[in-house]
Amino acid sequence: MVLTSNNLNARLNKDTQFCISIASIPSNFGTVLHNAAYAKLGLNFAYKAFSVSDIKNTVVGIRALNIRGCSVSMPFKESIISYLDVIDESARVIGAVNTVVNEEGCLIGYNTDALGAKIALESINADHRESVLLLGAGGVSRAILFALRQLGFKQVRVANRDLNKINNLKAILPCYPVAWSDRQSEFASLIINATSIGMCLEDVMPVDAPFLEKSRAVMDVIVAPWETKLMAYAAATGKAIAPGCLMSLEQAMAQFTLYTKNPAPKETMEWALRDYYYTQRISAV
């Protein structure tokens, strides 16, 4: 069951616990999945996405309004850390937070992206002996590197426009910095897009078609649109693919458990995911 505005309003009361997501360009992905799961389990929770630009005062608002949980998206996964009270060990190693839980006024930062990334990599049978090209060096790249470390990868190249940001990733996993202009200079069996390229329909692919065709598998972190040009081309050329929705679904399920202390109803969230993308496809026509 996907929660609609009508049955959400019917359940809101003074005891409702609110969870939110924050991003510079938010989507309804988390809103649809979390509210569907709350409804399935009959929990007095509600979830809403917000576009924010001031992370310091956003955290002040979370405290003041006693927001139960907060999903953190680009570009705040690193900058939010200094405003939290406690950082979970894995999030500390990663250096990025995508989940905040309010435990009686104490804001605790977690990273569920790493779990989602690990499951996404396993879905395409990622082999630790493969060479990897990771595009981007932001907060989500940190989580992906942590997952690659857990899986034993050693041949990892990271391409970014700011090479200094790549140097800061080496504490997570030793990797080779590559200038953005040189990202296609060497073969990579596994290509991972951890940039925002693909969020806009007019975006070109982050790598050229001939370079992509030589790879074995491709992973993306973009949730909307439902199919980026990178994923569409990779699928059409027979590559193993892990679209952004897979990583996001798994990390959202982990967030749900942190917020509610209940196991996530996976089947319900998967159905909500299908409904979300069906709506996306219809609206794009």
Residues classed as catalytic: 77
CA distance 56 to 78: 12
* For the chain, counts of helices (H) and of strands (E): 11, 12
Q: Is 66 helix (H, G, I), strand (E, B) or coil?
A: coil
Longest dimension (CA), the chain: 58
| Cβ atoms of residues 147 and 134 within 8 Å | no
Minimal CA–CA distance to 196: which of 220, 166, 169, 178? Answer: 220
List alpha helices for the chain, DSSP H: 5-11, 29-41, 55-64, 89-94, 113-123, 139-150, 163-167, 209-213, 229-236, 244-260, 266-284
Judge whether 40 and 265 are in contact, CB under 8 Å.
yes
